[in-house]
């Protein structure tokens, strides 16, 4: 292990190297900090808060959906609830989730750097995030929107709900995402410690790199699209309005040119987390390091060429549909490379079934289902039947909620000791993981069944034959919520009551574990020198493939 | 083999703490690292700018393909001389911007400020011409979407040409105005306070890169809007 570190760090303690949490005090020292770790923690707190808001909205309409008749809400209220659930979960939770919180906290630490390349820009992107969030919260208070999170024209340009503030919110949030992306790319290129070559980068860093590329290349397109839509609504410029010669399908092209790649912004960082946790908690060198790293970039690249699979029934040409379908199948290849590599990593490893590993296994199980059902939907003929049914809803929840959020929760647990300096209690954490897994599958697997039998999405009143599935789904959502609330409570409790975390509780080899838990304000007591690969565990050094 | 953290003062014989130049931020090792990071960040920002405009260009080409006759007829209503004049003005401003960067390399900060003022002057000239063009369109009613009142263009959806025209030139004009703001800030801030020298002028270079992109986008807008064939 890294014995050199201890001596030198001890020798350096003459200076005042307090933890980053206590280095400065007061609310302002947080809100205007340039420290990437504090910014990451503020993102984490904000994202989890909005996750709670989005989740409560979902619980509200799950109660409504428990029976076939409308009992609680009118159709319009129901539409507002699922729209805000979608918009909050996508723009305020999933897109920033792992990159902005864990990524911000970990990237400089993993690179052995003192900070990201542009700390002020990093703070600015957090402030922009809060401003965009304020717009979405205002939308909520101003009566909400009922367009669905996709804001399809011409409905979005004619309805009288609070579309403009929601669009402005998403527009502003886009810049937060772009600035984070630029910052991360430059940081990874320019801030690596001596000895940290590209092929020694932790796979989380590779995943963040691919994510950032998409953020920089795709987000500006949604920005201009939403900008045009704001003018469409306020000034009637007609670009998306067929009455003025405009084209609503153009909006769909613009929208999905961003919004398909952005699902990889959501899922790639989760892949990165899983690549770390599966190796470290199996005590085995990752299988296929280069393949996993390259497949992240490949997914980012191919992801730009598949947006048309959201538009198979929009009236785009059959040739275009066929080509988009084929390229979409192509995404499965690098994705499968990752999944097989993770499974192969566990093979003959000494797997520790701790909480992090439970979430990692949940991820693999759920993501496999989510990924494979994606192939159903990529198939033209099947999609014509399945589009706008609960099958689609279940598919993207398996990928986005089951994939991204399982990865996110796994990552939060894995790095919790580093971020807070405290261990979380294992027993409630395992119970929470079990509840989340059971609740999640009960909620959404039932939706695959209902959807494949024809239950359309976005209706609050439905045919009685779907009632059993819908009721089970509602029960599942409450089990899921119970698991997540339990997780929230023990994590909050552990910040005061948890056992003090050692420097490297999982005996990992990546650089973030070389510093104290929690890290000191400037990350490391001196210059970090990297001499090993990220997964060269001592006990298996000789046996690596 | 294991990773390690070495005491900074032992490792960094090359740059002991006292030697840090004032412009070097604490989280960078040395000046070349900071310079290359700052410039790389700007290039990435320009990439996202190009994609931001790409949406507008796509809308332009989509509707031009749908309504070719309208595009041909409507572009005759734009004043080619004013467009050409503005092209020359922006190209000149790009030259003076390049000269401003060169002045920094030669440690001629006063020269840099002088060239930036000329660039700002060109930018204002561009906006003034744009103002005359816009007000003419308000006068005759060649306006976007539902505000379009002009009669006399054959072909479908003439209002769309002007929607695209106003959005493209409007967003571009917004970039010109932002450019003026950034140049004023450079003159009042870093240049006045002596933060820029031949040792470190990445900020001026970045403003230059931004300005060249604004110019470059106009180089595409001018033929696409004013010189339709």
A250/B44 touch (CB, cutoff 8 Å), yes or no? no
Cα–Cα distance, A68 to A464 (Å, whole number): 5
Summarize pLDDT for A437-450 with one digit per residue, the tens: 999 999 999 999 99
> Does B23 map to a domain?
no
Best of B27, B60, B70, B146 to disrupt the A interface (most A CBs within 10 Å) is: B27
Which residues of B are less than 8 Å from A110 in CB distance?
none
Q: How far is C-alpha A330 from the geometric centre of its chain's CA atoms?
A: 22
The β-bridge partners of A527 are B6
Is the pLDDT reported for residue A65 higher than 80? yes
**DSSP conformation class of A520:** B
Q: What is the pLDDT of residue B145?
A: 84
> Does B95 map to a domain?
yes
Provide ipTM, 2 decimals. Answer: 0.92
> Does B7 map to a domain?
no
A258: left (phi over 0), alpha (psi -120 to 50) or beta: alpha
Summarize pLDDT for A121-155 with one digit per residue, the tens: 999 999 999 999 999 999 999 989 999 999 998 89
B2/A3 touch (CB, cutoff 8 Å), yes or no? yes
Q: What is the pLDDT of residue B156?
A: 83
Q: What is the pLDDT of residue B16?
A: 45
**List of chain B residues with pLDDT < 50:** 9-17
- Model confidence at A539, pLDDT cuts 50, 70, 90, reads low
Can you tell me which residue has the tokens 């599958």?
A441
> Does B201 map to a domain?
yes
Q: Judge residue B209's burial from the number of C-beta atoms within 10 Å of its C-beta, 0-12 exposed, 13-18 middle, 19 or more buried.
A: middle
Q: What is the pLDDT of residue A545?
A: 42
Q: Nearest-CA residue of chain A relative to B143?
A: A237
Q: Provide the residue ranges of all domains of chain A, joining segments of one domain with +.
A: 32-543
Task: Give the residue among A510, A538, A493, A528 at the shortest CA–CA distance from A102.
Answer: A510
Q: What is the pLDDT of residue B65?
A: 94
At A472, phi and psi to the nearest 5?
-60, -40
Q: What is the pLDDT of residue A540?
A: 55
Name the pTM for this structure: 0.93
Best of B1, B2, B3 to disrupt the A interface (most A CBs within 10 Å) is: B3
- Model confidence at A11, pLDDT cuts 50, 70, 90, reads very low
Task: Give the residue among A335, A434, A456 at the shortest CA–CA distance from A388.
Answer: A456
Task: Give the residue among B53, B125, B130 at the shortest CA–CA distance from B96.
Answer: B125
> Between residues 14 and 53 of chain B, which touch chain A (CB distance below 8 Å)?
25-27, 33, 36-37, 40-41, 44-45, 47-49, 51-53
Which residues of A are less than 8 Å from B3 in CB distance?
2, 5, 509, 511, 514, 528-532
Helices of type H across A379-405: 380-386, 390-396
Q: Are A244 and A381 in contact (CB under 8 A)?
A: no
> Does B132 map to a domain?
yes
B54/A189 touch (CB, cutoff 8 Å), yes or no? no
A5/B58 touch (CB, cutoff 8 Å), yes or no? no
CATH at residue B125: 1.20.120.80
Which residues of A are less than 8 Å from B2 in CB distance?
1-4, 531-532
Cα–Cα distance, B177 to B210 (Å, whole number): 12
Can you tell me which residue has the tokens 């939770």?
A93
Q: Judge residue A413's burial from the number of C-beta atoms within 10 Å of its C-beta, 0-12 exposed, 13-18 middle, 19 or more buried.
A: buried
Q: Are A281 and A352 in contact (CB under 8 A)?
A: yes
Structural domain of residue B96, as residue ranges? 56-226
> Does B46 map to a domain?
no
Q: Are A299 and A328 in contact (CB under 8 A)?
A: no
Question: How far A217 CA lies from chain B's nearest CA (Å)?
Answer: 6
Q: What is the pLDDT of residue A247?
A: 92
Is the pLDDT reported for residue A14 higher than 90? no
- CA distances A476 to A62, A347, A444, A480, A509, Å, are 10, 32, 8, 6, 38
At B199, phi and psi to the nearest 5?
-75, -35
Q: Are B45 and A186 in contact (CB under 8 A)?
A: no
Q: How many domains does chain B have?
A: 1
Is the pLDDT reported for residue A367 higher than 50? yes
**Widest distance between CA atoms in chain A:** 74
Q: What is A32-543's CATH number, 1.10.3210.10, 3.40.50.10710, 3.40.30.10, 1.20.210.10?
A: 1.20.210.10
> Does B164 map to a domain?
yes
> Between residues 130 and 149 of chain B, which touch chain A (CB distance below 8 Å)?
144-147
A119/B55 touch (CB, cutoff 8 Å), yes or no? no
Q: What is the pLDDT of residue A9?
A: 39
Is the pLDDT reported for residue A5 higher than 50? no
Q: What is the pLDDT of residue A464?
A: 95
Average pLDDT for A147-171:
92
A2/B44 touch (CB, cutoff 8 Å), yes or no? no
- CA distances B50 to A158, A221, B46, B53, Å, are 30, 9, 6, 5
Summarize pLDDT for A486-530 with one digit per residue, the tens: 999 999 999 999 999 999 999 999 999 999 999 999 999 888 999
> Does B37 map to a domain?
no
Q: What interhelical angle do B68-75 and B31-66 show, nearest 10?
A: 110
Task: Give the residue among B179, B156, B150 at the shortest CA–CA distance from B49.
Answer: B179
Which residues of A are less than 8 Å from B62 in CB distance?
247, 250
Cα–Cα distance, B38 to B210 (Å, whole number): 13
Best of A153, A239, A520, A533 to disrupt the B interface (most B CBs within 10 Å) is: A239
Cα–Cα distance, A135 to A169 (Å, whole number): 5
Q: What interhelical angle do B158-186 and B202-226 show, nearest 10?
A: 160
- Using DSSP's 3-state secondary structure scheme, residue B183 falls into helix
Best of B13, B55, B202 to disrupt the A interface (most A CBs within 10 Å) is: B55
């Amino acid at each position: 292990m890294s014995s050199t570190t201890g001596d030198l760090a001890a020798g350096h303690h003459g200076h005042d190297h307090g933890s980053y949490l206590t280095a400065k005090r007061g609310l302002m020292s947080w809100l205007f900090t340039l420290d990437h770790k504090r910014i990451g923690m503020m993102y984490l707190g904000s994202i989890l808060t909005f996750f709670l808001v989005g989740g409560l909205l979902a619980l509200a309409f799950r109660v409504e959906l428990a029976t076939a008749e409308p009992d609680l809400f009118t159709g319009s209220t129901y539409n507002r609830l699922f729209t805000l659930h979608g918009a909050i979960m996508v723009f305020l939770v999933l897109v920033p989730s792992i990159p902005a919180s864990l990524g911000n906290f970990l990237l400089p630490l993993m690179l052995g750097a003192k900070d990201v390349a542009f700390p002020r820009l990093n703070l600015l992107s957090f402030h922009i995030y809060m401003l965009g969030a304020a717009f979405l919260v205002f939308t909520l208070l101003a009566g909400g929107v009922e367009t669905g999170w996709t804001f399809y024209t011409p409905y979005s340009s004619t309805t009288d709900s609070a579309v403009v503030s929601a669009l402005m919110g998403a527009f502003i949030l886009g810049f937060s995402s772009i600035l984070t992306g630029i910052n991360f790319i430059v940081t990874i290129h320019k801030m690596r410690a001596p000895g940290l070559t590209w092929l020694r980068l932790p796979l989380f860093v590779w995943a963040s790199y691919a994510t950032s590329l998409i953020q920089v290349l795709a987000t500006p397109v949604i920005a201009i699209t939403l900008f045009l839509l704001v003018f469409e609504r306020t000034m009637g410029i007609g670009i998306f309005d067929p009455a003025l010669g405009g084209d609503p399908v153009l909006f769909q092209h613009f929208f999905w040119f961003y919004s398909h790649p952005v699902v990889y912004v959501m899922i790639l960082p989760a892949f990165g987390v899983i690549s770390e946790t599966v190796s470290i908690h199996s005590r085995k060198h990752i299988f296929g390091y280069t393949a996993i790293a390259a497949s992240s970039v490949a997914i980012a690249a191919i992801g730009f060429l598949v947006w048309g699979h959201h538009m198979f029934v929009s009236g785009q040409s059959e040739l275009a549909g066929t080509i988009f379908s084929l390229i979409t199948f192509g995404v499965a290849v690098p994705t499968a490379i990752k999944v097989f590599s993770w499974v192969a990593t566990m093979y003959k490893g000494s797997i520790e079934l701790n909480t992090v590993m439970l979430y990692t296994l949940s991820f693999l199980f759920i993501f496999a289902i989510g990924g494979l059902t994606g192939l159903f939907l990529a198939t033209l003929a099947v999609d014509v039947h399945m589009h706008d049914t609960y099958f689609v809803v279940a598919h993207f929840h398996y990928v986005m909620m089951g994939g991204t959020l399982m990865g996110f929760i796994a990552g939060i647990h894995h790095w919790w000791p580093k971020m807070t300096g405290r261990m979380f209690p294992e027993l409630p954490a395992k119970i929470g993981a079990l509840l989340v897994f059971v609740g999640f599958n009960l909620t959404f697997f039932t939706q695959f069944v209902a959807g494949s039998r024809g239950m359309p999405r976005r209706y609050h009143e439905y045919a009685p034959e779907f009632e059993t599935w819908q009721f089970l789904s509602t029960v599942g959502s409450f089990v899921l919520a119970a698991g997540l609330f339990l997780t929230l409570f023990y994590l909050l409790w552990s910040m005061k009551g948890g056992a003090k975390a050692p420097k490297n509780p999982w005996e990992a080899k990546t650089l973030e574990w070389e510093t104290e838990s929690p890290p000191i304000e400037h990350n490391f007591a001196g210059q970090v020198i990297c001499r090993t690969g990220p997964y060269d565990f001592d006990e298996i050094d000789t046996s690596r493939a | 083999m294991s990773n390690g953290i070495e005491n900074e003062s032992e490792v960094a014989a090359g740059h002991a703490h006292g030697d840090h130049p004032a412009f070097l931020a604490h989280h960078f090792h040395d000046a070349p690292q900071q310079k290359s990071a700052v410039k790389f960040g700007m290039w990435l920002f320009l990439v996202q700018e190009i994609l931001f405009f790409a949406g507008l260009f796509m809308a332009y080409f989509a509707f031009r393909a749908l309504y070719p006759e309208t595009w041909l007829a409507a572009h005759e209503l734009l004043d080619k001389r004013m467009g050409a004049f503005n092209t020359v003005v922006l190209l000149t401003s790009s030259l003076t911007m390049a000269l401003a960067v060169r002045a920094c390399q030669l440690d001629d900060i006063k020269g840099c400020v002088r060239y930036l003022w000329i660039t700002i002057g060109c930018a204002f000239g561009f906006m003034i011409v744009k103002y005359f063009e816009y007000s003419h369109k308000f006068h005759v009613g060649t306006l976007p979407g539902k505000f379009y009142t002009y009669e006399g263009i054959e072909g479908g959806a003439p209002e769309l040409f002007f929607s695209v025209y106003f959005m493209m030139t409007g967003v571009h004009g917004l970039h010109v105005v932002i450019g003026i703001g950034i140049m004023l800030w450079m003159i009042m801030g870093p240049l006045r306070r002596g933060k820029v020298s031949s040792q470190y002028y990445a900020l001026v270079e970045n403003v230059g890169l931004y300005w060249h992109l604004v110019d470059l986008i106009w180089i595409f807008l001018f033929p696409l809007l004013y010189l339709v064939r």
